[in-house]
Chain A
Amino acid sequence: MSLKVLVGCKRVIDYAVKIRVRPDKLGVVTDGVKHSMNPFDEIAVEEAVRMKEKKLAKEIVVVSCGPQQAQETIRTALAMGADRGYHIDVAADKMATLQPIHVSKIMAKLAEKEKADIVMLGKLAIDDDSNQTAQMTAALLDWPQGVFASKVDAKDKGLEVVREIDGGLETINIDLPAVLSADLRLNEPRYATLPNIMKAKKKKVEKVKPEDLGVDITPRIEVVNVEDPPVREAGQSVGDVEELVGKLKDKGF
């Protein structure tokens, strides 16, 4: 097989950062906060790179939507082994209402333009926790979907995908071209090595606006407010097992 893989990656607040709600209560604080590639997207990029190493894929094109800083995320993917990138230029103030419906349209248009065989996405982004983009991209293309994938193997003409579902694992066979979304255990992403980071600077990144692809990013939602979750009462420390068991019994367990 010599598949062309289109991979989406998103720049999000780093998973280890403590999130703070903005004083205007319309979002979270992002200025000056550490950002990195969405962990699920790292897994998606890694899977594409492994496909290339196994000679299943011949070219990996990565896509990221956002303001200028999105290029950092693209460079990281290029350093991991992707070949080319698209930076879809979306102003910072439009990002709050840029949703899977818009991103999936962008991915679908690029998949058609690039004649991709596989569109690979992370299962969800750790900021909006939506878990929708891969499914929506597949629908727009009328392609099959292998979402929450923990294992992907090429078969004669298609892919065998093992998915993580509520009760365990599910296996499906899907035709190519297809859209996949990476779940946590699909692989363990590599760290980009210094030589690869240097090489990545020479790889091509094309900057495009959503309207150039014919995609309208008019918001479908209005953010009413963003608040802190309810504060939990402080817990109690207990001295020993007897005390713990006693307290549990008092509560009726």
Chain B
Amino acid sequence: MFSLTNRLRQVASPAAQLYRCQSTLVVAEHNNEKLNPATLHAITAAKQLGGEINCVIFGSQNTAAIAKEVSGVEGISKILVAENAAFEGFLPEKLTPILLASQEQFKFTHIVAGASAFSRSLLPRVAAKLDVSPISDIIGVKDAETFVRTIYAGNAIMTLKSKDPVKILTVRTTAFEAAATSGGSGAVEDLAASADMPAISEYVGQELTKSDRPDLGSAKVVVSGGRGMKTGDNFKMLYDLADKLGAAVGASRAAVDAGMVPNDMQIGQTGKIIAPELYIAVGISGAIQHLAGMKDSK
């Protein structure tokens, strides 16, 4: 007969022995002047993962000022800074080697950034080198391995578990609050890691639309125009309305394709995904792909 006495033994479980300190690296985004708010949303998502949170700032200039902004956020352990003229334009070919070197040094379990043209260009490149499957545009964190994201232009929601040892994630900013920028005491240090950078790509320049209106990605009110506006000149009506409401102005793909407005105003599955308090759509039919960009509007 088996003795069924089970005595609780104070032995460190195998899991504890193999336990790897969970540590997240948030890759900060900035424009050499100010931190991009997308990073603050990514930090909130990182906090939901549990574990230590660190931040890395790459840039060709003014990284100290960006680091100062990040150090204001509560809950960040280390803020790593790497300033190098070669990082001008934030080319993924130049940033990947040094991110890999940082990973080699610190062995993060998670690498996270706010979803944007910058992170979408960079993080998958890093993931391929680490032989892990990156997960794009998460809208929820269930646990350190399980994430929620939309598929089919937001017409279905998938919950998936990553089996890879390092999780590389981009975070949909509209799905997480921005972390507050006060109360923090993270230590800023220079990134010790260094890496050779290939000279296979060259940054030439950017043509950014200048506007005094609120940023489309974070505006509380958005007025949007589509094919029904007929001409770019007619958009003036929307610009005037937006100014009265303190709103940003967006557009559907049709309006951008027709040349009525520049591409950075496009809202949709492959344009910007926004969730303002109030969304006013004018001359827009409401194709699935457009809805994908604004259906979380309150």
Contact = CB atoms under 8 A, between A and B. Distances in A.
A253 B278 contact: yes
Interface in B114-157: 116-118, 120-122, 124-129, 131-137, 142, 146, 150-157
B288 interface: yes
Contacts of B132: 101, 220
Contacts of A144: 93, 198, 200-201
Contact of A136 (B128, B161, B162): B128
Interface size class of B (residues with CB under 8 A): 35 or more
Contact of A174 (B117, B120, B200): B200
A173 B245 contact: no
A139 to B, nearest CB: 4
Given A168-B207, A185-B256, A19 B152 contact: yes
B158 interface: yes
A147 B121 contact: yes
A228 B156 contact: yes
Contacts of B128: 101, 104, 135-137, 139-140
Interface in B252-266: 253, 256-257, 262-264
Contact of B208 (A100, A138, A147, A167): A167
Nearest to B245: A253
B209 A168 contact: yes
A101 B136 contact: no
B121 A13 contact: no
B92 interface: yes
Nearest to B142: A224
Contacts of B179: none
A165 B161 contact: no
Contact of A15 (B118, B125, B256, B289): B289
B263 A169 contact: yes
A114 interface: no
Contacts of A142: 198
Chain A, interface size category, equals 35 or more
A224 B163 CA distance: 12
A211 interface: no
A167 B96 CA distance: 22
Contact of A221 (B150, B160, B207, B253): B160
B190 interface: no
Name which of B91, B146, B206, B270 has the most chain A CB atoms within 10 A of its CB: B270
A223 interface: yes
Given A167-B209, A172-B201, A226-B156, A15 B288 contact: yes
B270 A123 contact: yes
Interface in A22-55: 28, 40
B287 to A, nearest CB: 9
A225 B155 contact: no
Q: What 7 A-B pairs come out closest when comparing CB atoms? A: A136-B128, A139-B128, A220-B133, A135-B124, A132-B124, A165-B117, A167-B208
18 contacts: A16-B288, A129-B153, A135-B120, A148-B117, A163-B117, A164-B117, A165-B118, A165-B264, A168-B207, A170-B205, A185-B256, A221-B162, A221-B163, A222-B160, A224-B146, A226-B157, A251-B278, A253-B221
Given A13-B152, A99-B133, A226-B157, 15 more contacts: A15-B288, A28-B156, A129-B269, A132-B120, A145-B121, A160-B204, A166-B116, A169-B206, A184-B253, A184-B270, A220-B162, A221-B133, A226-B158, A229-B295, A251-B278
Interface of B: 89, 91-93, 96, 116-118, 120-122, 124-129, 131-137, 142, 146, 150-164, 198, 200-209, 217, 221, 245, 253, 256-257, 262-264, 269-270, 272, 277-278, 288-289, 295
Interface of A: 13, 15-16, 18-19, 21, 28, 40, 99-101, 104, 123-124, 126-133, 135-140, 142-145, 147-148, 150, 160, 163-175, 183-185, 219-229, 232, 248, 251, 253
